[in-house]
Amino acid sequence: MTSVLTVREQAETSEAARKVGGYAELMRLQDERRAIKRRGKVAKLVREPQTGRFKYIAVA
């Protein structure tokens, strides 16, 4: 798979990945968010207090 990103998009993606703990974590969060939205719910980003990892939860 090839993706062409502008310099700005690359910088935004890198910053987001650093905030959540890496590119793999960013992809995991993206998958979680999509799965929740497919069920017709609203996804809310929260941080687990025990582990410090981010995750999406379904609301409404």
Phi, psi of 5 (to 5 degrees): -115, 145
Neighbours of 29 (CB within 10 A): 20
What tens-digit pLDDT sequence spans the chain (60 residues)? 567 789 999 999 999 999 999 999 999 999 999 999 999 999 999 999 999 999 999 997
Q: What is the pTM of this model?
A: 0.81
Give domain status of residue 49, yes or no: yes
* 44, 56 contact by CB (below 8 A): yes
Residue 41, in any domain of the structure = yes
How far apart, in whole angstroms, are the C-alpha atoms of residue 56 and residue 23?
A: 16
**Domain span at residue 32?**
23-59
pLDDT value, residue 2: 62
Number of folded domains that form the chain: 1
Q: Does a structural domain hold residue 4? A: no
